[in-house]
Amino acid sequence: MSGSSLDGIDLAYCHIKETNGNYSFEILTADCVPYSEAWVNRLRNLPLASGKELWQSHADLGRHFGEVVKAFIGKEEIGNVDFVASHGHTIFHFPEQKFTTQIGEGAAMAAACNLPVVCDFRTTDVASGGTGAPIVPIADKLLFCQYDFCLNLGGIANVSAKNSREILAYDIAPCNQLLNAFAQELNVDFDDKGAIAKSGKVEGKVLKAIMELEFHNKLFPKSLDNSFSTKSVLPIFEQMATKDKLSTAVEYIANCVSKEIETVGEALGLGLENATLLATGGGAFNTFLMERIAAKTAVKIVTPQREIVQYKEAVAMALMGFLRWEGKANVLSSVTGANKNTVNGAIYLS
């Protein structure tokens, strides 16, 4: 898994088991391999690059992914791998224009690690009229069914909610994209536990301006491209002290999360006082952010073991690869608005 926060490549060696329609999983070992500074800059600037540069990066990143996987298997002495499931790295996501682009060429990856690769998990849904995001809710439905809500605080925050009949999910707001960008102004990779944000103050006018952006008034299903953060949100924070940017960003994310939990909970008839929410993603390690979310919602927030917090999305990719391998639907139309549940993923044999 490679997320929009560009913190690295998440690898999880998983066992997925299905018995009479019931699914379970185990993470046997996992790791996060940081991107080099050269790769961070290359991926960050790729949306403005030429077509040739885009396709060269698609091939190069696929080889890099394959080499990282091969090294991980060797380091962890993993003996049996059925296939590698790869999300790739999102460069463009414009479902309203009928396209989405995740780079990291599957054929190059398969050749580099000498294993079958399943990848490209969004395009069939987009072609079928869906938003192509979020795609993790299939794991929320099959692997984390005991929770009413699942909140992912990654580069972009998204939420899923379910009752006994259906599941709904969608993107909420930029999350670690903002927080990490501001932390890096102070020459640190991230705001550890939200300590810097906690020392700042919320700028009310800035917060109001961000909350009034058109996306936050749209009904679900909806999804975000990375450019929403860079083009629409970050410019509103100019001319502020960095600690105040972080404090205001935390309040913005917490406001959006609480608002959308209430909205989707109401749509599904979920009473928040008796509901449970599973919080994962890098933002779940931000103590101050979690305190602000908890202060604004009545749901019981559950933070699982660190391994699941960090690698839940990688587990979801393993599940999506498993379902694709079996020819079963792995993206849900109730989440994306597509005209049907779809089987997503291209398979490249080594």
pLDDT tens sequence across 153-206: 999 999 999 999 999 999 999 999 999 999 999 999 999 999 999 999 999 999
Closest CA to 170 of 130, 126, 221, 213: 221
**Alpha helices (runs of H) in 46-128, residue ranges in sequence order:** 51-76, 106-113, 123-127
Q: Which residues contact 336 (CB under 8 A, 6 or more apart)?
A: 125, 130, 131, 132, 133, 221, 223
The CATH number assigned to the domain with range 9-132+312-348 reads: 3.30.420.40
Q: Are 214 and 232 in contact (CB under 8 A)?
A: no
pLDDT in tens, 278-303: 999 999 999 999 999 999 999 999 99
**Alpha carbon distance 251, 178 (integer Å):** 12
pLDDT tens digits, 202-212: 999 999 999 99
- pTM of the entire predicted model: 0.92
pLDDT at 7: 87
Residue 179 burial by CB count (10 A; 0-12/13-18/19+): exposed, middle or buried?
A: buried
Q: Where residue 1 falls among pLDDT bands split at 50, 70, 90?
A: very high
Domain 137-308 CATH assignment equals 3.30.420.40 = yes
User: Which residue ranges does the chain devote to CATH 3.30.420.40?
Assistant: 9-132+312-348, 137-308
Compute the average pLDDT of residues 122-133. 97
Place of tokens 């490209």: 120
Maximum CA extent, the chain: 58
Confidence of residue 73 (pLDDT cuts 50, 70, 90): very high
Three-state DSSP class for 129?
coil
